[in-house]
């Protein structure tokens, strides 16, 4: 882990990392001590760009540029290059373009040309509404152009899909892992505050956890449910301590909003007006294992719904307090932040812990053993209390059929999730994880 920390976050060890981030972000010595305690105990870990606090300018983890058009494409491409240089992942909507796949190829090539020193490149999201005349070409683009590896793609759904298109989408998801589906009418509903004067929500960040208005940014962080700090008995969460952790985490994430350096005046204006943050969880499957609760049990779903609701309630409490102390966001008299909770995939920061599962995912060997209902039920359970979306992959075994994927899409449509991503084991030549005999 020490080499991982040194190469990725430019410090000698985790204690130095916790100290550096806390010192850079704190408004006061009391805040610094709270931040350092939580980060050092691995109870709360901010996302990657925030972990570079103190060695480089703070940049947002993710940004949404909204709907691209033929008229604004070149300007959006130039802005994208700036964001990519700053290690920020971007969400796009291609529905306003005559040739969305051609534009996607240009975006992908431009992203591929970006050189970063010690940090991995951020992924991106391209969304196209199902009604677009080029939807068939878009759905099959990962089959036609295998090098579009730096973009996730999703079809935006407002109404029920006709059977032919649904079957076509499922067949390509079976083959390549893309596209996913996003349910825009659900994505428009988030949190206690709404910004009606901003552009409509039409896309999400690269891993689907945060739907935002055009030019919004967000910084993320996660509560590690598998942290011993959260309970004297390591199998039971102390809710008073959880409340303290959430309050401290929201304070830090909100503080980072003020410290961010933005690449354009419009992104700065919208981001500071909205002050959206994204607090989620990690270590969920590991925590269930410590409690001897099967991932696919009713008890796990009940606990997920409870924790989702409680974490969001604590986040709202703290946002109200911060609004009283420092002023509310531009769209509320009561809250400091437009929305506060979502669940990101925690790919990088999980490497700083001993957890085997990412965010709310089980480890990969276990994941492919579960029926799709288990994955979608768990996603819906966590979604029930979250302001914004939940990043969750429905992992399926190699033997899964196209019909299985169609059934999973329909099941997700029945539940109150904001999107669905399917991955069949072996459908990508260079998938990041594989089945093995010693991984469980």
Q: Are residues 103 and 37 in the same domain?
A: no
Q: Are residues 93 and 176 in the same domain?
A: yes
Q: Are residues 164 and 144 in the same domain?
A: yes
How confident is residue 439, by pLDDT bands cut at 50, 70 and 90? very low
Which residue, of 147, 179, 212, is where some domain finishes? 212
Structure confidence at residue 116 (pLDDT): 78
Q: Are residues 254 and 397 in the same domain?
A: yes
Q: Are residues 86 and 40 in the same domain?
A: no
Q: Are residues 379 and 396 in the same domain?
A: yes
For 128, the token pair is 């196209």
List Cβ neighbours of 302 (8 Å cut-off, separation of 6 or more): 381
Structural domain includes residue 298: yes
Q: Write out pLDDT tens, residues 136-154.
A: 999 999 999 878 989 999 9
Structural domain includes residue 436: no
Q: Are residues 38 and 83 in the same domain?
A: no
How high does pLDDT run on average in the chain?
93
Structure confidence at residue 234 (pLDDT): 66
Count of domains forming the chain: 2
Which residue, of 169, 185, 212, is where some domain finishes? 212
Q: Are residues 227 and 343 in the same domain?
A: yes
Structural domain includes residue 437: no
How confident is residue 118, by pLDDT bands cut at 50, 70 and 90? low
How confident is residue 10, by pLDDT bands cut at 50, 70 and 90? confident
pLDDT over 80 (residue 2)? no
Q: Write out pLDDT tens, residues 360-413.
A: 999 978 888 899 999 999 999 999 999 999 999 999 999 999 999 999 999 999
Q: Write out pLDDT tens, residues 87-97.
A: 999 999 999 99
pLDDT over 60 (residue 432)? no
Which residue, of 183, 212, 241, is where some domain finishes? 212
Q: What is the DSSP pairing of strand 44-46 with strand 217-224?
A: antiparallel
Q: Are residues 84 and 34 in the same domain?
A: no
Structural domain includes residue 439: no
Q: Once rounded to an integer, what is the mean pLDDT over residues 114-119?
A: 75
Structural domain includes residue 435: no
* Nearest to 321, CA basis, from 335, 331, 310, 333: 335
Are 183 and 413 a contacting pair, CB within 8 Å?
Answer: yes
Residue located via tokens 């090098």: 147
Q: Write out pLDDT tens, residues 275-319.
A: 999 999 999 999 999 999 999 999 999 999 999 999 999 999 999
Structure confidence at residue 431 (pLDDT): 56
Structure confidence at residue 19 (pLDDT): 96
Q: Are residues 265 and 408 in the same domain?
A: yes
* Nearest to 323, CA basis, from 338, 333, 313: 333
Structure confidence at residue 434 (pLDDT): 46
| CATH number of the domain residue 87 falls in | 3.40.50
Q: Are residues 375 and 348 in the same domain?
A: yes
Structural domain includes residue 196: yes
Q: Are residues 328 and 196 in the same domain?
A: no
Structural domain includes residue 432: no
Other beta carbons less than 10 A from residue 241's beta carbon: 15
Structural domain includes residue 355: yes
How confident is residue 435, by pLDDT bands cut at 50, 70 and 90? very low
pLDDT over 70 (residue 255)? yes
Structure confidence at residue 3 (pLDDT): 83
pLDDT over 70 (residue 436)? no
| CATH number of the domain residue 25 falls in | 3.20.70.20
What whole-number distance in Å separates Cα of residue 379 and Cα of residue 377? 5
Residue span of the structural domain in which 345 resides = 2-57+218-424
List Cβ neighbours of 324 (8 Å cut-off, separation of 6 or more): none
């Amino acid at each position: 882990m020490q080499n991982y920390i040194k190469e990725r976050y430019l410090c000698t060890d985790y204690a130095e990392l916790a100290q550096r981030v806390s010192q850079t972000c704190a408004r006061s010595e009391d805040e610094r001590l709270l931040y350092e305690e939580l980060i050092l105990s691995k109870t709360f870990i901010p996302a990657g760009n925030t972990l570079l606090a103190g060695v480089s300018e703070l940049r947002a983890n993710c940004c949404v540029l909204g709907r691209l058009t033929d008229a604004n494409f070149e300007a959006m491409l130039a802005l994208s290059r700036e964001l990519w240089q700053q290690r920020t992942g971007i969400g796009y909507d291609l529905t306003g373009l005559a040739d969305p796949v051609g534009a996607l190829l240009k975006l992908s090539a431009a992203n591929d040309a970006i050189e970063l020193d010690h940090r991995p490149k951020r992924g991106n999201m391209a969304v196209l509404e199902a009604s677009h005349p080029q939807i068939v070409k878009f759905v099959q683009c990962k089959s036609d152009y295998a090098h579009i590896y730096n973009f996730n793609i999703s079809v935006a759904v407002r109404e029920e899909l006709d059977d032919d298109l649904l079957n076509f989408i499922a067949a390509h998801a079976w083959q390549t892992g893309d596209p996913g589906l996003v349910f825009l009418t659900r994505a428009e509903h988030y949190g206690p505050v709404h910004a009606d004067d901003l552009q409509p929500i039409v896309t999400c960040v690269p891993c689907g956890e945060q739907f935002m208005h055009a030019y919004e940014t967000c910084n993320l962080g996660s509560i590690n449910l598998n942290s011993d700090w959260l309970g004297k008995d390591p199998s039971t969460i102390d809710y008073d301590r959880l409340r303290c952790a959430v309050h401290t985490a929201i304070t830090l994430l909100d503080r980072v909003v003020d410290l961010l350096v933005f690449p354009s005046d419009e992104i700065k204006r919208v981001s500071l007006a909205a002050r959206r943050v994204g607090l989620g969880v990690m270590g969920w499957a590991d925590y269930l294992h410590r409690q001897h609760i099967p991932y696919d049990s009713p008890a796990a779903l009940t606990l997920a719904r409870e924790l989702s609701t409680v974490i969001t309630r604590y986040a709202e409490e703290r946002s109200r307090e911060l609004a009283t102390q420092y002023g509310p966001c531009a769209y509320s008299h009561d809250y400091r932040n437009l929305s506060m909770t979502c669940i990101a995939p925690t790919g990088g920061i999980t490497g700083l812990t001993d957890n085997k599962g990412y965010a709310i995912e089980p480890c990969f060997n276990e994941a492919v053993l579960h029926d799709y209902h288990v994955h979608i039920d768990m996603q819906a359970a966590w979604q029930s209390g979250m302001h914004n979306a939940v990043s969750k992959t429905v992992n399926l075994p190699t033997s899964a059929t196209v019909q299985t994927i169609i059934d999973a899409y329909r099941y997700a449509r029945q539940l109150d999730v904001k999107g669905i991503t399917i991955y069949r084991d072996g459908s990508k030549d260079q998938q990041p994880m594989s089945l093995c005999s010693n991984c469980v």
